[in-house]
């Protein structure tokens, strides 16, 4: 170890943050703001469909980029790199698994969602089962999950990165990020979010690959990583323990089903349960696919997103491992006093693995680029969360409170809710600072395993089993929630022991991995749902038209369309939203009122009302899942190739 540390002494001194770095970061902020404002002018922001689904006009390539950047937040750069530093390559399976689920999204779930004509996932459950209690339950639970597993972790990890790299106050950096993020999201709607996501995906991939190549060059490429990672032992250890040693299976993705930190049956089955919620039934992801101009573009976007999700295995997980190999004392510390000295947290400094590479390896200028990369990761993830959370709150919660709300009111409420989320996010920072003392990525996955498997079970059953009804789905969700909350409370009461401490947790915690628990919770929910459904009244077949996999191609009759159009906010003449607002010609407004109208997406020009027949024609077009044969086969061939590539990588490192 002395030889390795000595040979790398030239790269362990922090790089100076110079004027070129400041210029790069400032230029990035103005560029992203410009793209957001430009795309907001190009988008139809004055209607529900325009603001929340980009007018269903997006093509495959921005959808694919947005799918990638919506999921790759700063918590992935900080959290997944930290897990890679701690345990090796196995955490990369979380990215490879996404490839398969994105194919399932495009070929199984999205056709049903488009055919059913929904905007939000709770709305789909409302149409599928009837009643409002499932819709409200899923809406509230989704917002709860967004705050505790997405918004809070992305903000915390992004602020930590900026604080470590630039020395800024954590609150100053957070407020700045949230301000730019909120402006892009509030002003532009989903189209602005997708366009800025596309830009930020390019920045993320380029910047991350630059750091990856520099890191590999310093470590001696992959053979050097294999050797030096296994030798990365801190000088100060906890006596009579092995927690300072790298895992013997660090370079294998398939690990022992009992003793493995990520057991292979859990990665195949449990991770699929968690990922199905993220990629196939979570509003943040599905909303991007629903914005496609047709089903072929939605499939193409899923394929592009799947290929992009392979990349973090190489430019996030492996650099995290390199960081531990280069700085075994700082990143791999196990003694609480040492960890407190290096990163201010007693339990582990693994979460600082990626920021450490940035501040020590990159020269002036490129360092500013990487700061911009992490800002891109934070902002692209947060814009997606804010827009999707706003969609759920506006259409699934606010419309239950204000049933006759006009479209103008919905647009304003959606934007105000984003600002409220920003405020809550800032208040949540101290709580995350106190709670996130271990590996950030494990925190996110554990929390998801408590609450998301029941949601996955209900969506899978809703799409594939026509016999499942509303009482079965609702009580299945409630039973799953109770079981998940019991596990969550136990996990918070009985904390994971630190290095050298005896594990006194109950057997149900220490012997049942959270990935196994996800499978168990999924099975409990599904069983309860099916049993209760069989004991209660069956849903008539005609009420399931275009709402399941088996009925997605059902013909649309006039009575069905009439019922659908009645459920669209303000589609009738009595409540036409913005068209009912008497607005003076644009030239007669003061500048501040024009700014207000632009910010809220209110048109200052009269809009043409659609007749009932025109609305029916438009609805048929938006719910069509027909594809041209050439593009249908082209997308299917590429889906097979994507699954084969991800399977090969998994097998190669298995």
User: How far is the C-alpha of 627 from the C-alpha of 115, rounded, in Å?
Assistant: 13
Per residue in 148-158, pLDDT (tens digit) is: 777 777 777 77
Q: What pLDDT score does 184 carry?
A: 54
Domain annotation for the chain: domains and CATH numbers: 2-552+623-652 (1.20.1730.10)
Task: State the angle between helix axes of 60-71 and 366-392 in degrees (0 to 180), rounded to the nearest 10.
Answer: 100
Residue 421 pLDDT class (50, 70, 90 cuts): confident
Q: What does the block give as tokens for 547?
A: 């709402």
Res 542 pLDDT > 50 = yes
Which of 47-61, 237-251, 385-399, 400-414 is predicted least confidently? 47-61
DSSP state of 72: -
Q: What pLDDT score does 462 carry?
A: 95
Beta bridge partners of 125: none
**Which DSSP string do the residues of 32-68 spell out, in sequence order?**
HHHHHHHHHHHS--SSHHHHHHGGG-B-HHHHHHHHH
**In this predicted model, which residue has the larger pLDDT, 89 or 426?**
89
Res 598 pLDDT > 60 = no
**In this predicted model, which residue has the larger pLDDT, 74 or 399?**
399
- CA 525-461-91 angle, to 5 degrees, is 70
User: How far is the C-alpha of 375 from the C-alpha of 200, rounded, in Å?
Assistant: 9
What would the mean pLDDT of 559-575 be, rounded to a whole number?
45
Q: What does the block give as tokens for 15?
A: 């790089």
Q: Please state, rounded to an integer, the average pLDDT across all residues of the chain.
A: 77
Q: What pLDDT score does 149 carry?
A: 75
| Distances, alpha carbon 490 to alpha carbons 455, 484, 508, 595, in Å | 21, 10, 9, 51
Q: What does the block give as tokens for 70?
A: 């919506």
Of 310, 363, 303, 322, nearest in space to 103 by CA: 303
Q: What pLDDT score does 5 carry?
A: 38
Residue 614 pLDDT class (50, 70, 90 cuts): low
User: How far is the C-alpha of 74 from the C-alpha of 312, rounded, in Å?
Assistant: 12
**In this predicted model, which residue has the larger pLDDT, 64 or 224?**
224
**In this predicted model, which residue has the larger pLDDT, 478 or 355?**
478
Q: What pLDDT score does 107 carry?
A: 94
What would the mean pLDDT of 405-421 be, rounded to a whole number?
76
User: How far is the C-alpha of 605 from the C-alpha of 585, rounded, in Å?
Assistant: 7
SS (H, E, C) 182-239: HHHHHHHHHHHHHHHHHHHHHHHHHHHHHHHHHHHHHHCHHHHHHHHHHCCCCCCCCC
- Listed in sequence order, the DSSP H helices in 234-363 are 264-265, 271-276, 283-290, 295-310, 312, 318-326, 328-331, 336-343, 353-361
**In this predicted model, which residue has the larger pLDDT, 65 or 641?**
641
What would the mean pLDDT of 19-36 be, rounded to a whole number?
74
Res 454 pLDDT > 90 = yes
pLDDT over 90 percentage in the chain: 23
Q: What pLDDT score does 343 carry?
A: 72
CB 488 within 8 A of CB 447: yes
Res 597 pLDDT > 70 = no
Q: What pLDDT score does 577 carry?
A: 33
User: How far is the C-alpha of 588 from the C-alpha of 584, rounded, in Å?
Assistant: 7
């Amino acid at each position: 170890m002395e030889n390795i540390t000595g040979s790398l002494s030239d790269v362990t001194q922090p790089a100076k943050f110079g004027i070129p770095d400041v210029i790069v970061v400032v230029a990035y902020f103005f560029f992203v703001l410009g793209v957001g404002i430009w795309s907001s002018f190009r988008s139809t922001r004055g209607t529900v469909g325009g603001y929340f689904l980009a007018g269903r006009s997006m093509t495959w390539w921005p959808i694919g980029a947005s799918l990638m950047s919506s999921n790759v937040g700063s918590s992935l750069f900080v959290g997944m790199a930290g897990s890679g530093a701690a345990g090796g390559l196995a955490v990369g399976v979380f990215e490879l698994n996404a490839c398969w689920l994105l194919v399932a999204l495009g070929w199984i779930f999205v056709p049903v969602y488009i055919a059913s004509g929904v905007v939000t996932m709770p709305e789909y459950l409302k149409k599928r089962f009837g009643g409002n209690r499932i819709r409200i339950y899923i809406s509230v639970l989704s917002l709860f999950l967004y705050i505790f597993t997405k918004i809070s972790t992305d903000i915390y990890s992004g602020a930590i990165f900026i604080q470590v790299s630039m020395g800024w106050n954590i609150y100053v950096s957070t407020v700045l990020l949230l301000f730019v993020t909120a402006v892009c999201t509030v002003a532009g709607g989903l189209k602005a979010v997708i366009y800025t996501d596309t830009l930020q995906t390019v920045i993320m991939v380029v910047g991350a690959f630059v750091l990856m190549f520099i890191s590999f060059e310093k470590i001696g490429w992959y053979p050097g990583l294999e050797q030096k990672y296994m030798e990365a032992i801190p000088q100060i250890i906890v006596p009579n323990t092995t927690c300072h040693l790298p895992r013997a299976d660090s370079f294998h993705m398939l690990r022992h089903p009992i003793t493995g930190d990520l057991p292979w049956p859990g990665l195949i089955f449990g991770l699929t349960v968690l990922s199905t919620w993220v990629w196939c039934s979570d509003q943040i992801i599905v909303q991007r696919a629903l914005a496609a101009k047709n089903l072929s573009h939605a499939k193409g976007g899923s394929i592009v997103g799947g290929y992009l999700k392979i990349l973090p295995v190489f430019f996030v997980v492996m650099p995290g491992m390199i960081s531990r190999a280069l700085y075994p004392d700082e990143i791999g510390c196990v003694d609480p006093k040492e960890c407190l000295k290096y990163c201010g947290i007693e339990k582990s400094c693994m979460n600082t693995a990626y920021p450490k590479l940035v501040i020590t390896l990159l020269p002036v200028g490129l360092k500013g680029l990487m700061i911009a990369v992490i800002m891109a990761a934070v902002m692209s993830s947060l814009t997606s969360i804010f827009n999707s959370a706003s969609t759920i709150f506006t259409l699934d919660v606010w419309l239950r409170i204000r049933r006759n709300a006009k479209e103008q009111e919905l647009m304003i409420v959606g934007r105000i809710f984003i600002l409220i989320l920003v405020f809550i996010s800032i208040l949540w920072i101290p709580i995350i600072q106190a709670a996130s003392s271990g590996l950030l990525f494990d925190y996110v996955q554990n929390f998801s395993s408590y609450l998301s498997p029941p949601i996955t079970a209900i969506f899978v059953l809703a799409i594939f089993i026509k016999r499942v009804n509303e009482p079965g789905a609702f009580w299945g969700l409630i039973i799953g929630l109770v079981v998940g909350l019991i596990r969550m409370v136990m996990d918070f009461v009985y904390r994971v022991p630190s290095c050298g401490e005896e594990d006194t947790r109950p057997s149900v915690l220490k012997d049942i991995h959270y990935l196994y628990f996800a499978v168990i919770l999924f099975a409990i929910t599904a069983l309860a749902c099916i049993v209760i459904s069989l004991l209660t009244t069956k849903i008539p077949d005609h009420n399931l038209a275009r709402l399941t996999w088996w009925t997605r191609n059902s013909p649309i009759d006039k009575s069905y369309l009439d019922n659908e159009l009645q459920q669209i906010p303000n589609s009738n003449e009595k409540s036409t939203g913005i068209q009912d607002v008497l607005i003076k010609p644009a030239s007669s407004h003061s500048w501040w009122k024009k700014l207000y109208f632009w910010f809220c997406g209110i048109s200052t020009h009269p809009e043409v009302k659609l007749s009932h027949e025109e609305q029916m024609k438009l609805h048929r077009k938006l719910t069509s899942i027909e594809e041209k044969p050439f593009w249908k086969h082209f997308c299917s061939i590429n889906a097979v190739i994507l699954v084969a590539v991800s399977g090969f990588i998994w097998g190669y490192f298995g």
